[in-house]
Structure 1
Amino acid sequence: MKRRDFVRQLSYFSLLSAIPGEGLVWPADDFPVSEFSGKLRPVGRALEMEGYYVWCNSPIKGPDGKIHVFFSRWSDKKGMGGWINSSEIAHAVASSPEAPFELVGTILAPRGAGYWDATTCHNPHIKLVDGKYCLFYMGNSNGKTDTKRIGLATSDSLYGPWKRPDLPLLEAGPAGAWEDHCTTNPSFIKHPNGEYWLYYKSWNTEEYEQAKGQPIRGNRKYGLAIAKKLEGPYVRYEGNPVIDFSSRGGNKQFEDAFIWLEGRRFKLLARDMGVFNHEAGLYLESRDGKKWGEPEVAYRSLDNYVQEPPAPRHLKRYGRLERPQLLFDENRPAYLFTAAQGGKYMTSSAFIFKIEK
């Protein structure tokens, strides 16, 4: 049996086990499961690079018919924590989402002292907006979380050159606010009314500092900022945060949101941080992009789709799928790109799913 056939057969039995009444193998017997979850078919790992951790895989189909992925990477000598102080953003291309990707090169690297993105470039999120390629990303200036800011690099071509901003696109909120620590994990849509909507993650500094040393620090929430022009200024929505799970107790929170507009519905994928468990993905919908419905399971842990070697000691998030990003085909979600620890070099890589119609 070919490996891909084996993977798909394994996925089929995993999906059967998720049908209510058939005996769940995943500890989620009473979790609401989205229709989106049932459409996922594992393709497998991609962008396994010797000497690097690979994360934040954001795909787009180019005018050349190829699939372009913009992703974060950093030296394996830094360990998993290298994303915060030495990540760069690179570009790879394939003939299809299921074909091998070839590295084009690094497009954004830390610029050094004096710049807002001096020490890391991370969280790439690629979009085609008004005929221009827009790469939203996070940078920081001190290798720590409190200077994380969202920026926007632009180009007329997926192959560059990329014009890098002198200033971040969105600063943190005022001291004491729920969002005074940082702006990060961008997700962007151009609203049908012509406005430019930027979703972002943040949290409160005092809450974060008080909780240092605990398994979960602070409480991550999502806000919305709106602009009349792509370049800004972006004004925070007065009803922020638009998604906040803190009132559910147990320091429930989430991150890595990817938001898109499908028909007349806003839809969202994210990484769960305690709403159901820490291994799930979340799926939410909204009519207006501001008030969101109840979360459902978007996807499960990696071992529900493929069989991989046991977790090595140095990888503490092994089996968890993070940073969900979608590849669209004629405005329909066609593939789900995630990031997962492990792979050929036991660092991290992309893991891709096909989304069945």
Structure 2
Amino acid sequence: MLARRAFLTGLVLAPFARAWAGLASVRLIDYPRGSFSRFSKHLQPVGRALELPDWYVWCNSPIYGPEGRVHVFFSRWPAKKGMGGWLNGSEIAHAVADRPEGPYAFLETVLAPRGPGYWDATTCHNPSIQYVDGKYCLFYMGNSNGKTDTKRIGLATAPTLSGPWTRPNAPLLLPGPEGAWDDHCTTNPAFIKHPNGQYWLYYKSWNTKEYEEAKGKEIRGNRKYGLAIADKLQGPYVKFEGNPVIDFSRQGSNKQFEDAFVWRQHDKFRMLARDMGVYSQEVGLYLESEDGRQWTFPTIAFRPLRDYGVQQPPAPAGLKRYGRLERPQLLLRHGKPVYLFGASQGGAALTASAFMFKIT
């Protein structure tokens, strides 16, 4: 549980430098003093990438390849499906660039929905690429009915970033029993190999009854994070008895979060995530932990794109989260974060694309 800390392309890139130097003057929301993390003060905006005509692009997970190039595994779905198409028609694709800033060349679709009879029949989403035990591991979410209640976490593996990918016939982690806090789904995987040799998988879920009783509300249910641990990469993963390890519901006003990314640095577990009301709906969260189970109360990790001087055309109809950064993923070099990749609505195609920050 939380150990509370005091809660005190289609862009104009020219304004970045001056906006970065004077961010406080352009913020539209004043947050409590001391609420910004040290991490947040080292983000230099780079711009968009993977602006694909006729596609929404989301969930951009980067990794350095053995040849020194940057590979990104990302979700995409046809623009005609609209922003909500991720739930019923997303696939996971692979792109590569000579440097983190791009340009990126599309290579192939890696995982696509398999159709009736499979647990990932209707969507493949939330990719998170890792190199573990000499193989490439692509954690992802699939569903079988195009709805949230069959979202499950799975793991595909390959000897190289070019494949071939071995795809699972069953999910890696199932929801809890009826009535449990996590009985609705397992999704948004965040993985780390523990220094003790165990395999730790963080996952998002919520309670079905709370979700169903909240029909008509802007945000249904309360998203929390649990931890599951295995002695082998392929599992079985056993849920930590102290779950959920991160729960903001006691803060009131249905405060919650999602999109966690976890890494270890300087002997601490660290987490980035998207805020859903702890501070606002527009910022990211940064948390730390000594043991990976008890986490500090979050500080702000990143702000909306407008606060960095990013100028965009007016939001098209249907893009209600325009300018917000979601799905934070880090490009690590020797265990140190060097670039932050996120997803944001907008871009040249007026759909959604990757957006990157250099970490200074």
Aligned to 2:324: 320
**Aligned residue number for residue 13 of structure 1:** 22
Q: Which runs of 4+ in 1 moved over 6 A?
A: none
Distance 1:122 1:81 in 2: 12
Other-structure match for 1:291: 294
Is 1:346 the counterpart of 2:350? The answer is yes
| More RCO (CA 8 Å, sep 6+) | 2
> Given that residues 222 and 255 in structure 2 are in contact (C-alpha distance below 8 angstroms), is that contact kept between their aligned partners in structure 1?
yes
1:46 aligns with 2:55: no
Match of 1:334 in 2: 338
Q: In structure 2, the residue corresponding to 1:336 is in which secondary structure?
A: strand
Residue equivalent to 1:263:
266
SS at match of 1:238: coil
Question: Residue 303 of structure 1 aligns to a residue in which SS?
Answer: helix
- Give the CA deviation at 1:198: 0.2
Equivalent in 12, 31, 49 of residue 29 of structure 1: 31
**CA distance in structure 2 between the partners assigned to 1:248 and 1:56 by the alignment:** 28
Q: Structure 1-normalised TM-score?
A: 0.96
Output aligned runs, 1:137-148, within 5 Å: 137-148=140-151
Q: Match for 2:330: what amino acid?
A: L
Alignment of 1:1-357 (within 5 A): 4=13, 6-14=15-23, 17=24, 25-30=27-32, 32-305=35-308, 306-356=310-360
Structure 1 CA distance for aligned equivalents of residues 111 and 37 of structure 2: 36
Deviations 1:165-186 (A, max 9, x none): 0000001110000000000000
2:88 is paired with a residue of what secondary structure?
helix
One-letter code aligned to 1:54: V
User: What is the CA-CA distance between 1:10 and the residue it aligns to?
Assistant: 2.6
Indicate the SS of the match to 1:327. Answer: strand
Q: Deviations over 1:61-84 (max 9, x none)?
A: 000110000000000000000000
Shift in Å at residue 330 of structure 1?
1.8
Superposed CA offset, 1:209-241 (max 9, x none): 000110010000000000000000000000000
Amino acid at match of 2:160: S
- Relative to 1, partners in 2 of residues 1:151 and 1:127: Cα closer, same or farther, differing over 3 Å? same
State the alpha-carbon separation in 1 of the partners of residues 150 and 31 from structure 2.
40
Q: Deviations over 1:248-305 (max 9, x none)?
A: 0000000000011112111010000000000010001010000000110000011011
Cα-Cα RMSD: 1.2
Task: State the partner residue of 1:20.
Answer: none
User: Which 5+ residue runs of structure 2 have no aligned equivalent?
Assistant: 1-10
Q: Unaligned stretches of 5+ in structure 1?
A: 18-22
Cα distance in 1, alignment partners of residues 13 and 341 from structure 2: 17
| TM-score (norm: length of structure 2) | 0.95
Counterpart Cα distance in 2 of 1:301 and 1:3 = 16
Shift of 1:4: 4.9
C-alpha contact (below 8 Å) 2:179/2:207 kept by paired residues: yes
C-alpha displacement of 1:312: 1.8
Distance 1:273 1:143, change over 3 A: same
Identity of aligned residues (%): 66
Query: What amino acid maps onto 1:317 in structure 2?
Result: R
How far is 1:246 from its partner?
Answer: 0.1
Q: Distance in 1 between matches of 2:312 and 2:17?
A: 14
Q: What's the CA shift for 1:115?
A: 0.1
User: In structure 2, the residue corresponding to 1:194 is in which secondary structure?
Assistant: coil
Number of aligned pairs? 348
Secondary structure at the residue paired with 2:75?
strand
1:13 is displaced (CA, Å) by 2.3
Letter in 2 for 1:30: P
Is the alpha carbon distance of 1:236 and 1:270 closer, same or farther for their aligned partners in structure 2, counting shifts above 3 Å? same
